[in-house]
Amino acid sequence: MSTRTNTTPAKTDWRTVGLACAIIVISMGLRQCFGLFQTPMTTSIGVSAASFGLAMALQNLIWGTIQPGIGALADRYGPRTVILGCTILYVAGLVLMGLSQSGFLALDVGTGLLTGIGVSGTGFGVLLGAVARAAPPERRTQVIGMVSGAATLGILLFAPLGQALIDSMGYTTALLAYAAIAALMAVLCIFLRGGKHVTVRGAVPPANEIVSLSATLRAAARHRGFVAMTIAFFACGFQLMFITTHLPRYLSLCGLSSDVGAEALAVIGITNAIGSYGSGYLGRYFLDRHMLAATYLFRTTAIAIYLCVPPSPTATLVFAGAMGLTWLGVNAFVSNLIARIFGLRHFNTLFGVVFFSHQFGAFAGSWMGGIVLDVTGAYTLAWLTLIAIGLLAATLQWPMDDRPYQARLATA
């Protein structure tokens, strides 16, 4: 029986889940190691720290801006085609970073533009759609949490490898090795279920889908719950990108060793894997909108407590562990809410819309931290802003209307 990709399978397609985990480990793992190349590229081709930081900010902005369009392509043509095309751009970006002696080509074009597009097509915006279609509703949150947890495992693999190659053979060799690893995504995606149609035994068509993409986008724009969730997701990116960008500098201002910052990021990577899977498991028993609100509130409470206690290595690592438990688990709840309200036909497009808000928040959080430090000489105001935005996100998320769209219309 041949059915549309937006049908609901009776059993979880673990092959698709496993392949999605492998691809996300490579895509996100390599991207999270780009900071290793700042110092050697500065020494070799004379790029400044500001130029490198701008390239990373540009990557995030491009990633978020084009994600709805990349998602629409994945909805129409399937994940394989999109992942294959974006893998080629990802590899090209890494090669350009490694070989170019021009800061503009290596950073703005290679790091910012090409890898920004590459990550958008090999990351959450496409893979979570494939995973959502591969699992029945009762297990969807759990398997999406599993894939989200795998996203930070790559840094534990590729950071030591990249640093060893930089130390022994130079950053060019390290980036070319990264490019070869990234090329493996093109091989893995071949085995994903893709195209316009797939064969799913026992599949049943959902009743809450809108056939037209334009009608779906109009419905999403009018749906107060979807809009509230999108705004709240801005806070998620705002908080997390501020921490990854500015926590090491904050610790140095507090007189702590730079090793504490590196250890904190490693703790976040490890506890994210635990927290993402745990979030997916809890999503089977509690409402996704309430779990999202609780996640924002837990994360914001952890920030407030950390701000109140004297800075120390122990307090920082405990804080990092708490943040890691809530790091990417939100993807499972957001994904399941999108599927519940609007179905899976245009899932990737709608996730891209929500994710754009996240990435814009990431850009704003990173930029805000630098501005606050330059103007005030401290991060106190920035931390207080994180707390205020987190509380607003939890308040918006808790009462969200998460009924299926067609059922909501019938009630109205």
Instruction: Indicate the Cα dihedral angle 26, 28, 34, 35, nearest 10°.
Output: -130
Co-location of 157 and 252 in the same domain: no
Co-location of 296 and 175 in the same domain: no
Instruction: Return the sign of the alpha-carbon dihedral for residues 115, 121, 57, 330.
Output: negative
| 33-36, long-range: CB < 8 A, 24+ apart | 33/155, 33/158, 33/159, 33/162, 33/178, 34/111, 36/159, 36/162, 36/163, 36/166, 36/174
Co-location of 170 and 294 in the same domain: no
Q: Which of these three, 147, 169, 195, is where a domain ends?
A: 195
* Phi, psi (deg, nearest 5) at residue 196: -75, -30
In a domain, 129, yes or no: yes
Co-location of 124 and 41 in the same domain: yes
Residues in the chain: 412
Q: How many CB atoms lie within 10 A of CB 207?
A: 9
Amino acid at 55: A
Co-location of 34 and 157 in the same domain: yes
Joined together, the tokens standing for residue 343 give 């179905």
pLDDT of residue 407: 54
Co-location of 181 and 273 in the same domain: no
Which residues of the chain register pLDDT less than 70? 1-8, 10, 49, 194-211, 258, 406-412
- In this structure, what CATH number is given to the domain that contains residue 317? 1.20.1250.20
* Number of separate helices (H) and strands (E) present in the chain: 19, 2
* Phi, psi (deg, nearest 5) at residue 13: -85, 90
Residue 384 CB burial class (10 angstroms; 0-12, 13-18, ≥19): middle
In a domain, 50, yes or no: yes
In a domain, 202, yes or no: no
Give the span between the Cα atoms of 143 and 40, in whole angstroms: 39
Give Cα separations from 386 to 16, 235, 303, 366 (angstroms).
36, 8, 8, 11
Q: Give the angle subtended at the CA of 83 by the CAs of 79 and 88, to the nearest 5°.
A: 160
Pick from 348, 220, 232: nearest CA to 292: 232
In a domain, 200, yes or no: no
Residue 193 CB burial class (10 angstroms; 0-12, 13-18, ≥19): buried
- Residue 310, classed as helix, strand or coil, is coil
**Number of structural domains found in the chain:** 2
Co-location of 305 and 397 in the same domain: yes
Range of 306's domain?
213-401
In a domain, 204, yes or no: no
In a domain, 103, yes or no: yes
In a domain, 161, yes or no: yes
Give the span between the Cα atoms of 115 and 91, in whole angstroms: 8
CA 304 to chain centre: 24
Co-location of 23 and 171 in the same domain: yes
Q: Which of these three, 168, 195, 222, is where a domain ends?
A: 195
pLDDT of residue 353: 94
Co-location of 53 and 145 in the same domain: yes
Co-location of 246 and 306 in the same domain: yes
Q: Which of these three, 195, 224, 240, is where a domain ends?
A: 195
pLDDT in tens, 36-77: 887 788 888 887 767 887 888 888 889 999 999 999 999 989
Co-location of 42 and 88 in the same domain: yes
Give Cα separations from 170 to 98, 163, 167 (angstroms).
10, 9, 6
In a domain, 104, yes or no: yes
Pairing of strands 2-4, 197-199: antiparallel
pLDDT of residue 195: 43
Co-location of 174 and 220 in the same domain: no
Terminal Cα distance for the chain, rounded: 36
* Phi, psi (deg, nearest 5) at residue 240: -70, -40
